[in-house]
Amino acid sequence: MPLPRHRFAVNLSMLFTELPLLERPAAAAAAGFRAVEMWWPWPATPTPEARELDALRGALRDAGTQLVCLNFYAGRLPGPDRGALSLPGAESGRFRANVGVAADFAASLGCTALNALYGNRVAATDAGAQDALALENLVLAARAAGRVGATLLIEALNPVESPAYPITGSARAVELAGRVNEASGLGNARFLMDLYHVAMAGEDPAAAISAYAAAHTGHVQLADAPGRGEPGTGTLDVPVLLKRLEQSGYDGWVGLEYRPSGPSGGAFGWLDGTR
């Protein structure tokens, strides 16, 4: 049975990357999607010029696509970085400079989910000092998100591909969100459940859904595992997991954050049951 596309948001940092950024919203719309998500689109700068923000805002609106999830500045992504907020010095400064810019951009488009990637451990830097800096910056991000009526998302990556990233495993991310909520007093930090990272971390994605989807999850993303391709290219039974999400009571967006095996326009056949 075909899966309804209105449940899904196309990640424009992973799909349609053969096109310039400003052409991707229209391509997603042409493929039948009304919602999109993205990493911070300007990895070289946390504070792009107003004309760049305006151009992307216009492209999203002209395509009739709703931005539903946006990353804060996270360094070179894709690339060696996995976030900036826990890195002492210049990078955490860039994150702080970005917080208001990203929150305001999201608010201007009705986007109510902002994802904050933690950042890798830094050699010769005390882990406790990094964690204290991270909590300080996550509270700052929670307050910026709260100001515009948004949820702050905290994502767990997987230790296979991100061995220096300390937030791996669903329980660790859920626990950190709780610490942020306690420190901020706002209660708007939630878990970003990426089913690909859950599986690659050695967890049972179905069990993670049962444990965390209803009470702790603010956004879901998926790719097949291993390989991070579209569903049908790995070993995950994605339709069954989506059914489990529905049964859990999760009624939010599901971001399609995978690498297409060919042109992006052909990467959605699994939704129609044609893979």
**Active-site annotation holder among 91, 203, 230, 257:** 257
> Following CA atoms 56, 60, 63, 66 in sequence, which dihedral angle do they give, to the nearest 10 degrees?
170
Residue in 155, 175, 182, 246 annotated catalytic: 155
Beta bridge partners of 157: 168
Q: Clarify whether 49 is annotated catalytic.
A: no
Cβ contacts of 13 within 8 Å, gap of 6 or more? 38, 39, 41, 77, 78, 257
Q: Are 162 and 196 a contacting pair, CB within 8 Å? A: no
Count of CA atoms in the C-beta half-sphere (13 A) of 266 = 4
User: Rounded to 5 degrees, what are φ and ψ at 155?
Assistant: -105, 135
Helix (H) or strand (E) holding 189, with range, is: strand 189-194
**Active-site annotation holds for 155:** yes
Nearest-CA neighbor of 220 among 115, 134, 119?
Answer: 115
Q: What residues are annotated to the active site?
A: 155, 257
